Chain A
């Protein structure tokens, strides 16, 4: 069964450094998402992406964050200058049409620790 993959599984970085989290969505899907879960808190929506553009973003997704689909398979989340509070599990997801009734398929997550 096709699945969403994410790399790396764990990343440790120093505050102020840039990080890039990578995702490979399911190949025929058109909508891509990033969510994050700070330890002990809810999973929160960050951004959705369609047709090489951001469809929606939450208030969390400020100028420090960016997303890109650099080629036909990868979908990346970049944090330009990491802060301590960016430490979280980051989940990538994809869906075919992006409708509210549709299943979003999630990757296993990248655990980011900012020191």
Chain B
């Protein structure tokens, strides 16, 4: 069965320092992986996704993630945190192989705090 594990429930960084949010996945086939962000009182917004093309995926707001099959990881990074990045981040895997109808399996989420 497919699953994702977000290793940190809470990450705190200072503004201007790098962000690393960790995610490991388990999948029996080549997965589709996503990072979603949720700001307070807002919906889940897609940051980026991996769907078996380039392993380094660039998303919105300067975020990127690298798919590492050997490590079964899909960590989210950003070189320099901004106050507006404070939110909850979800690593998500699709429960089916590419092309078939898929539903999403979520990690527990990582709450990112950004200190001035």
Q: Which residues of A contact B (CB under 8 A)?
A: 3-4, 6, 9, 31, 33, 35, 41-45, 48, 50, 55-56, 91, 93, 98-109
Contact = CB atoms under 8 A, between A and B. Distances in A.
20 contacts: A6-B43, A9-B41, A31-B101, A33-B103, A33-B104, A35-B104, A48-B103, A99-B99, A100-B98, A100-B100, A101-B32, A101-B49, A101-B94, A101-B99, A103-B49, A104-B104, A105-B46, A106-B43, A108-B41, A109-B43
A54 B31 CA distance: 24
Pairs A-B, 3 closest by C-beta atoms? A100-B102, A100-B94, A106-B44
A103 B45 CA distance: 10
Given A103-B34, A103-B46, A106-B44, A48 B94 contact: no
A9 B40 CA distance: 13
Secondary structure call for the B interface = loop
Interface residues of B, number: 29
